[in-house]
Each structure stands twice: as structure tokens, then as C-alpha cells.
Amino acid sequence: MELKKSTDHSCWLREVGAEADCEPGTLELCIRGRDEWIPINRIELRDQRWLNCAPLNWYSFMNPESVMQRVLAISRSDGEVWVKMNEDSLIQVDGLLVNDFLRAENVRAAMKYQPRDDDVFIATYPKCGTTWTQYIVCNIFTGGNAPNNVTDFLLQAPYFDFMGADAPKKMPRPGALMTHLPFSMRRHSNKARYIYVARNPYDCAVSYYHYLLGHTPKTCSDVSFETFVKAFIAGRVPYGDYFDHLIPWYEHRQDPNVLFFTYEDLKKDTSSWVLKIADFLGKQEYGDALRADSKLFQRILDSCSLGNMREVFDCRCDGFVDALLELPEDKRLESMELYRNKGVTKQESHEGSGRVRKGKIGDWKNHFTTPELLDTMKCWIEEKTKGTDVMRLWEDLNLP
């Protein structure tokens, strides 16, 4: 039984049959660039790095769970343990890699949800201006009285993939559901409204690195930015490949029920884009109201400042999970009970960033500091964007 091979893969696995010289059930590995299959118990330590950093969907063949258990048991027993940044913190839900603190049932609920006509979705790839956009929308909906703590914020603008089926049921309306699900992995509606925010891949990678670093246990030894970039361009991060997420939404950017903009545009002209968002949500009710009330408009802009948001979102994941579980019964989400049963592991992590970091354009220049790293990103971008003009979104930034 052999995995379907692809030129994109760095290694493949197969289970040896009874006709082979090895004992039936033995796993063999083939590493790109070599012609031979190697019994997995004879793999050298340097080759175990390839095995350990392979995307989980490479192992998706018959009885994948038991195979994965055997692979990991072999590759991590005896000798040095190869731990790649955050890859031990990933699970696969119907082909999608997500953080292991999410519950598969809740992710699937977001995938299968049939949008209501009055639903508003904020859809982004992680670390592309998600929280900022959510908070702007909350402020618009509440007349500048957005929640001042993470718990109330998550009720007003639920992270759907995390909170599950009860999120849209308990969400105060008007409200906005946030999702990182790729376009093809959720049900689309021509009547619901979608706000999509894109960020240039260089700054996105930097922000994502610092965010995941803060969620990576100190038992993970290799947490360099170079290591992360390799995982990022291979799609071995939560929610997979950046361009696989961006391009399908880019192709729908002209849809009348889609508001598509970039983080950079929002950063450079926040006031104009707040008005555009308000118009999209309801021109007469929200957009015109802000134009007619300069004090309200300024209050919203002040509320959405970086400094204010840092105070609101200064909370670790385990902290707001506990807070959501302790809500009174009328506000509590039954779908969150999955976290009570399984718990969120609390362990010492590397120092990283929270939901709100620097909020700068161009911080990538402080991280992509070697020609090799820049060439790696440039080659990946060129390959992934063949046949699309999506990078024109940032033609004024003079990206590499």
C-alpha cells in the first residue's frame, strides 16, 4: 500500500505487503532525491527530520491514525528527538490543518454551517488584520461601545472555527462571525456579507511567526524564523497555505456581497476604510450615521487604536477559554463544553506575541535578512502566483 506520490512531497510512506522481504506491516520511507525505499526502523536520524516535518495529509491512507502513531513512536524513540516549530500542535480536520487547541467538532460545525441572509462574516488568513477588522465592525455595530474584554468580544464577534455551532445562535445581532476557513471549505451564500482582509505575504509570515512562537512550548528546540518560513511556504501551519487561502477570495473580490481590502490600505487610511466598512454593513444605518456624527466617528477610531486594543486583548488562550466556560447559562455556549471536557493544556511557551502585535507595514525587512531566505520566499511566491495578478495588491510596497 503506497501513498500517491507528488513532486511537491519531500517523502512518502508505504506499508510493506507479505510479498516483500520485510515483515508484513513494516513501514517504508522514500525520501525525495533517492530511488530506494528504506524500512522505517533503519532510517538515520538526519532522515527523521524529513519524516517529522511532513504535512499530516501525506499519511492519509488506510487506517491513518494507527500508522501515524507507529510512525511517531518510531521516529521519536531513542536518540535525538527532532521537534519542528509548532508542528506537534497541529491536527487535521477533513484535510485542513488547524491548531490542536481547536476541537474537530467545532471546526466541522463552521464548515457545515448554512449562512443566514443577515449573516456577516470576517474571513481572513491568520495574522492579516483579523482582530482589528473584528473590532472595527464591533464598534460600528455598537455605536462606539465595543466590548472592553476578550470574553464579551468573542460573544459579539465569535471565532466560529473555535466556538462551534452555538456561536451564531447566541451571537447578539447585528454581529459578525470570524472564520479562517478557506473559501472551498465552508458553505457560501450570495446573500450573506463577507469582509476579507489580505496582507502581504512577507509581513503576514513575520506576524504569524511571532504569534505561533508564543504558543509553542519550550520543549520545541528549533524555533528560528528560518525554520518557520520553511513550514509557512509548505503550508505546514494552521489553516495551510497562504496563497491557497488568498487567491480564491481574490477571485471573488468584485462580488457585490464581498468587501475585499488589504491590511496595508486599512493601515494607511483607516478613517476612509472604516467608512467603507460601515457603508458595506449598511450605508444609511451605519455609514451615513458616522458621517453625520463626527464625535461618534472619532470615538470609534480611538477605540480601534493599537494601544487600546492591546489592553483589551491582553489575554492568553487558556484565560479566555476559562472565561467563556464560566459565563451565565443564558450566554454560555454548549459547543464550548468540549473544552471543559478535554481542557486546554497549560505549559511554558516561548516568548511571542498575542493577538495584537506591532501593527506595522514592512517589519519583514527586520526578519528576511539573508539572500537565501529572500530567494526562498520569492521563488515560492512566483510559483504560487502563476496565472494570477494577486501580487498587484502590494505593487506600491516594493516587495522583493
Q: Annotated catalytic sites, by residue?
A: 180
* Assigned C-alpha cell, 141: 455595530
- Burial class, 218, CB count within 10 angstroms (exposed 0-12 / middle 13-18 / buried 19+): exposed
Q: How far apart are CA 368 and CA 371, in angstroms?
A: 8
| Whether 179 contacts 123, CB under 8 Å | yes
* Assigned C-alpha cell, 157: 464577534
Residues with Cβ < 8 Å from 200, sequence gap 6 or more? 262, 263, 264, 364, 393, 394, 397, 399
Grouping H, G, I as helix, E, B as strand and the rest as coil, residue 186 is coil
Question: Helices in 164-261 by DSSP H: which ranges?
Answer: 167-170, 201-213, 225-233, 242-250
Q: How far apart are CA 137 and CA 130, in angstroms?
A: 11
Q: Which amino acid is at 43?
A: I
Residue 8: C-alpha distances to residues 55, 62, 159, 394 (Å): 11, 21, 32, 27
From its phi and psi, is residue 285 left (phi > 0), alpha (psi between -120 and 50) or beta?
Answer: alpha
| Whether 104 contacts 164, CB under 8 Å | no
Q: Are strands 11-15 and 27-31 parallel, antiparallel or unpaired?
A: antiparallel
Q: How far apart are CA 8 and CA 233, in angstroms?
A: 12
Nearest to 111 by CA among 96, 90, 133, 129: 96
Q: How far apart are CA 331 and CA 321, in angstroms?
A: 14
Nearest to 92 by CA among 244, 229, 246, 239: 239
Helix axes 371-384, 242-250, angle to 10 degrees: 40
